[in-house]
């Protein structure tokens, strides 16, 4: 097998099907056998055989094998969404009355799942910390801590955690670690190589990359993945569909070239934004001005295209005027697709959180998050420049 991701993702073991360059979609729920003995044998190695598509399916397998290889994992399992993957991975690591440590800027639904659902159903406490110092993790470990859940960079303010140091600390204390690696992708960061137990992804972002699928992934070592497959995967049943796995195989072929372009474009946009007098600050781990730039450089080999900046205003009408003036950036949630997107966290947070809590997250009313797509960077910069100067007519 070729070892470099560009080659690996284009050269498919799946070519054996009638020489088809693109593998077929195995759109079937079950697989048949010639006789009793054959079914009996298949059941003896349930995790290797195609029996029923809630378990294994060949199209899903193709995609999982590719993901596992680029992530340096023994095995990947694909789920119907990022949240299906995350909730399954978390449930694998916890038990009633145990304790979770996570970062305060963790993805919203992940946070709600822990602090609300798990608290209510299983009496599991969650402690939120900034995650910027390893000592902070050590200070919050309790006897019943069973999981340290990381998201580095986090998708709200891009704060990082030292994955290697936290993984080491967790192992010393017999605590499982999960890292949400959606921002960096398995190309730019390898949490498993740094000692993290499980890597989780929203495949709906860069891995899918075309804004046409919702899926999730969990990757890790054989012994963890076998148990997770037999329990949280098969019993909760959040499997990906063969069609979506097939779309993902398509997406993965261009992942390296897409990420390279996202990175180049985002860097140009971030550098432009940083020079604008109407902008208070730009948050992008690839900028030398980013507070945790050195840590990012140590544990990532590249930067993706999601960043945010803060307009120098707390007047919501000015923020709206700027946002509405953007033409090239589509307006919507999510990120990681070919198209550039802009979102203002104030739109959703103001509905859910009191203003003080909003401020505590390190986000302001003037925050704009952009997903820099694959368009020409100069066109994107032109759009931002125009929205900043022409339409942004209220005094700052
Ligand atoms: C989108 C997202 C998720 C959830 O993924 P879905 O595919 O939407 O369920 C989890 N983590 C991060 C960082 C995300 O951005």
Instruction: Give pLDDT tens digits for 52-97.
Output: 999 999 999 999 999 999 999 999 999 999 999 999 999 999 999 9
Mean pLDDT, rounded, of the chain: 93
Q: What is the pLDDT of residue 25?
A: 95
Whether 244 is in the pocket of ligand 1, judged by its Cβ within 6 Å, is no
Q: What is the pLDDT of residue 395?
A: 53
Instruction: Give pLDDT tens digits for 213-223.
Output: 999 999 999 99
SS (H, E, C) the chain: CCCCHHHHHHCCHHHHCCCCCCCCCCCCCECCCCCHHHHHHHHHCCCCCCCECCCCCHHHHHHHHHHHHHHCCCEEEEECCHHHHHHHHHHHHCCCCCEEEEECCCCHHHHHHHHHHHHHHHCCEEEEECCCCHHHHHHHCCCCEEEEEEECCCCCCCCCCCHHHHHHHHHHCCCEEEEECCCCHHHHCCHHHHCCCEEEEECCCCCCCCCCCCCEEEEECHHHHHHHHHHHHHHHCCECCHHHHHHHHHHHHCHHHHHHHHHHHHHHHHHHHHCCCCEEEEECCCCCCCCCHHHHHHHCCCCCCEEEEEECCCCHHHHHHHHHHCCCCEECCCCCCCCCEEECHHHHHHHHCCHHHHHHCCCCCCEEEEECCCCCHHHHHHHHHHHHHCCCCCCC
pLDDT grade, residue 390 (50/70/90)? low
Atom of ligand 1 nearest to the CA of 216: 7
Q: What is the pLDDT of residue 79?
A: 98
C-alpha 83 – ligand 1 centre gap (Å): 6
Whether 182 is in the pocket of ligand 1, judged by its Cβ within 6 Å, is yes
Average pLDDT (98-125) is 97
Instruction: Give pLDDT tens digits for 138-171.
Output: 999 999 999 999 999 998 899 999 999 999 999 9
C-alpha 37 – ligand 1 centre gap (Å): 43
Q: What is the pLDDT of residue 16?
A: 67
Q: What is the pLDDT of residue 6?
A: 83
Cα 317 to Cα 344: distance, rounded to the nearest angstrom: 12
pLDDT grade, residue 13 (50/70/90)? low
Q: What is the pLDDT of residue 82?
A: 98
Q: What is the pLDDT of residue 389?
A: 84
C-alpha 92 – ligand 1 centre gap (Å): 18
Average pLDDT (383-392) is 82
pLDDT grade, residue 392 (50/70/90)? low
CA–CA–CA angle 316, 319, 323 (5° rounding): 135
C-alpha 3 – ligand 1 centre gap (Å): 28
54-63, 81-90, 340-349, 359-368: least confident range = 359-368
The rounded percent of the chain whose pLDDT value lies above 90 is 85
Q: How far is CA 377 from the centre of its chain?
A: 24
C-alpha 202 – ligand 1 centre gap (Å): 4
Q: What is the pLDDT of residue 376?
A: 98
Whether 107 is in the pocket of ligand 1, judged by its Cβ within 6 Å, is yes
Q: What is the pLDDT of residue 8?
A: 79
Cα 228 to Cα 222: distance, rounded to the nearest angstrom: 10
pLDDT score of 314 more than 90: no
Q: What is the pLDDT of residue 15?
A: 59
């Amino acid at each position: 097998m070729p070892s470099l991701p560009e080659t690996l993702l284009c050269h498919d073991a799946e070519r054996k099907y009638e020489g088809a360059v693109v593998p077929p979609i195995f759109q079937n729920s079950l697989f048949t056998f010639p006789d009793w003995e054959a079914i009996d044998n298949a059941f003896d190695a349930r995790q290797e055989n195609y029996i029923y598509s809630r378990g294994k399916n060949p199209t899903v397998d193709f995609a999982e094998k590719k993901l596992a290889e680029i992530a340096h994992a023994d095995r990947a399992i694909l789920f119907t969404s990022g949240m299906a993957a995350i909730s399954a991975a978390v449930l694998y690591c916890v038990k009633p009355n145990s304790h979770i440590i996570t970062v305060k800027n963790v993805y919203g639904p992940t946070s709600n799942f822990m602090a609300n659902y798990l608290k209510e159903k299983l009496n599991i406490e969650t402690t939120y910390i900034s995650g910027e110092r390893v000592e902070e993790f050590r200070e919050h470990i309790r006897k019943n801590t069973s999981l340290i859940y990381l998201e580095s960079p986090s998708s709200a303010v891009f704060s990082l955690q030292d994955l290697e140091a936290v993984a080491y600390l967790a192992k010393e204390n017999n605590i499982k670690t999960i890292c949400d690696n959606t921002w960096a992708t398995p190309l730019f960061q390898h949490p498993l190589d740094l000692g993290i137990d499980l890597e989780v992804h929203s495949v709906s972002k860069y891995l899918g990359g075309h804004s046409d699928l919702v899926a999730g992934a969990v990757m890790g070592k054989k012994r963890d993945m076998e148990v997770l497959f037999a329990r949280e995967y098969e019993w909760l049943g959040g499997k990906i569909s063969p069609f979506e796995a097939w779309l993902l195989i398509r997406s993965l072929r261009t992942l390296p070239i897409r990420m390279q372009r996202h990175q180049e474009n985002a860097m140009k946009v971030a550098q432009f934004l940083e020079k604008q007098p109407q902008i208070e600050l730009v948050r992008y781990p690839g900028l030398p001005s980013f507070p945790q730039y050195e840590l990012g450089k140590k544990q990532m080999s590249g930067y993706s295209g999601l960043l945010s900046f803060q307009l120098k205003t707390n007047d919501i009408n000015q923020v709206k005027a700027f946002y509405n003036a953007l033409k090239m950036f589509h307006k919507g949630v999510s990120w990681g697709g070919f198209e550039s997107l802009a979102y203002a966290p104030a739109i959703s947070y103001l509905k859910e959180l009191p203003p003080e809590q909003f401020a505590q997250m390190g986000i302001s009313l003037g925050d704009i998050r952009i997903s820099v797509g694959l368009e020409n960077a100069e066109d994107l910069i032109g759009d931002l420049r125009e929205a900043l100067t022409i339409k942004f007519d209220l005094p700052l």
